[in-house]
Structure 1
Amino acid sequence: MNLTIDELANMIDYTLLKPDISNKDLFQLCQDAIKYNFKTVAINNAVILFCKKILKGSNVLCDAAVSFPLGQSTIETKVFETIDAIEKGAGEVDYVVNIVEIKNDNWAYIEEEMREIVEACNERGAISKVIFENCYLSDDEKKKLCEVALKVKPTFIKTSTGFGNGVATIEDVKLMKACVGDNIKIKAAGGIRDIQSVLKFIEAGASRIGTSSGVKIIEEYKKLKSKK
């Protein structure tokens, strides 16, 4: 793979979504993101203003997690949270679908939810990402969710929150890619912690990687590149 170090770094959403963190942790996250030129810092909404100040003057965006990690908020709540996150300074939004309504086979609800959130992002110039949380879905449900996404056209569809009972898999990325082709981008996230995994996910069709191991991954990639 002929990606430059900067190109790979710009495909990474550098993640810190734990509940037991401090401003010191967030400061370090943002400093590392600036140093390595990551695409975003993926954070919970309450800390957007804090991170936005640290990132000022850099190209790194705030990536807000909406209805995270369960997705069990109403459409109205998710839309409000999306708009609030963007107004606070988020340039990208990752929201979790309502899995209960998928299990209810209520695809009209899922489409309406996606449409309202994606429209809220589009109207405000923000990138939208739909988190499937594939570990709870059958392959048929994943395919139906891809079909809804093809109608609504979010910027990305995403494998996982990293908080479910499963992680991103190559098989899921391939399935999602087969369904949406080049019409929607794919983000792989959840349990991705080394460069070999990252390269496999990119080869399978992912164009964005969510990880809390961004620094480690880039340092590994530098060593890999130096050997060639």
Structure 2
Amino acid sequence: MTVSTPLTRADVADMIDHTLLAPDATPAQVEALIAEARELGVYAICVSPSMLPVRAPGLVVATVAGFPSGKHHSLVKGAEARLAVDQGAVEVDMVIDVGAALAGDFNAVLADVITVREATVDRAVLKVIIESAALTDEAIVGACRAAEQGGADFVKTSTGFHPAGGAGVHAVRLMAETVGGRLGVKASGGIRTAEDAAALIAAGATRLGLSKSAAVLAGFAD
């Protein structure tokens, strides 16, 4: 059964970061991820920095920094991001210190983002993971504003590892309203069906982080 939407399967595929960030991921699984990504026609793959470098011609290579807790020192996140870019990543999804955002310390969030932005300069797209399910609306807005001020290219909902949950329509809409089209909005975490994806895109998501890309894309018409 396909969802009722003007988006085609190809449209959605071009928004997907096909993701493997499991702590027990193997090189063989990364190779399988790349092969599936090519078959599905997705935009990018996202793998842990320890799996870099990878050969994935025709695909954007993304990775993470400070993942999944965000409780790494900013300089550690910056060093991790810089090394990842040196090893071929062209997009970096960094995790903020979620506790700082909850405490209303958005200067700390800003400093975190600036450190990673300066470490990657203009060599990578920077996405800032705010763990929206763990934040109040006020904290979501504050974190998004700090991300934009710090030079991010995207704000992103979730790591997919936080017990509070992953992407939600309300949070995505609020994030999209806050950044006003100046930044992209990546929804990730718990997106398993075409209905989930379509609702998040309608709310303002411009990129999707998926580990179940084939199942999601199966619900969209050609």
Fold conserved between structures, TM > 0.5:
yes
Bigger mean CA offset, 34-43 vs 2-11: 2-11
Are 1:27 and 2:31 counterparts? yes
Once superposed, which parts of structure 1, at least 4 consecutive aligned residues long, lie more than 6 Å away?
none
**What pairs up with 1:28-43 in 2 under 5 angstroms?**
28-43=32-47
Q: Secondary structure at the match of 2:121?
A: helix
Say if 1:65 and 1:95, in contact at 8 Å, map to a contact too: yes
Tell me if 1:44 matches 2:48. yes
Note if 1:6 corresponds to 2:14: no
* SS at structure 2 position matched to 1:154: coil
Percent identical among aligned pairs is: 29
Preserved contact between residue 133 and residue 171 of structure 2 (Cα < 8 Å): no
Q: Hey, which of these two has a bigger chunk of helix by percent?
A: 1
Quickly say closer, same or farther: Cα 1:20–1:150, change in 2 above 3 A. closer
One-letter identity of the residue aligned with 2:156: K
1:21, distance to aligned residue in structure 2 (A): 2.4
**Structure 1: which 5+ residue stretches go unaligned?**
none
Counterparts of 1:107 and 1:8 in 2: how far apart (Å)?
A: 33
Q: Over residues 65-111 of structure 1, what are the superposed CA-to-partner deviations in whole Å (9 max), with x where a residue is unaligned?
A: 11110001111100000000000110110010012322343222211
The aligned residue for residue 163 of structure 1 is: 161
Greater shift in the superposed pair: 196-205 or 147-156: 147-156
With the length of structure 1 as denominator, give the TM-score of the two structures.
Answer: 0.90
Q: With structure 2 as the length reference, what TM-score do the two structures score?
A: 0.92
CA distance in 1, matches of 2:67, 2:218: 29
1:88 equivalent in structure 2: 87
> Could you tell me whether the CA contact under 8 Å between 2:79 and 2:119 is conserved in 1?
no
CA deviation after TM superposition for structure 1 residue 2, in Å: 3.0
Q: 1:21 to 1:152 in 2, by over 3 A?
A: closer
Q: 1:5, 1:15 → 2: CA distance?
A: 18
Distance 1:75 1:11 in 2: 29
Moved more, 168-177 or 18-27: 18-27
Considering only aligned residues, what root-mean-square deviation do their CA atoms show, in Å?
Answer: 1.4
In 2: Cα distance, 1:188 partner to 1:16 partner: 15
1:93-172 equivalent positions in 2, closer than 5 A = 93-124=92-123, 126-165=124-163, 166-172=165-171
User: Contact (CA 8 Å) 2:155, 2:184: kept in 1 or not?
Assistant: yes
CA contact (8 A) 2:109 2:147 kept: no
Matched, 1:217 2:221: no
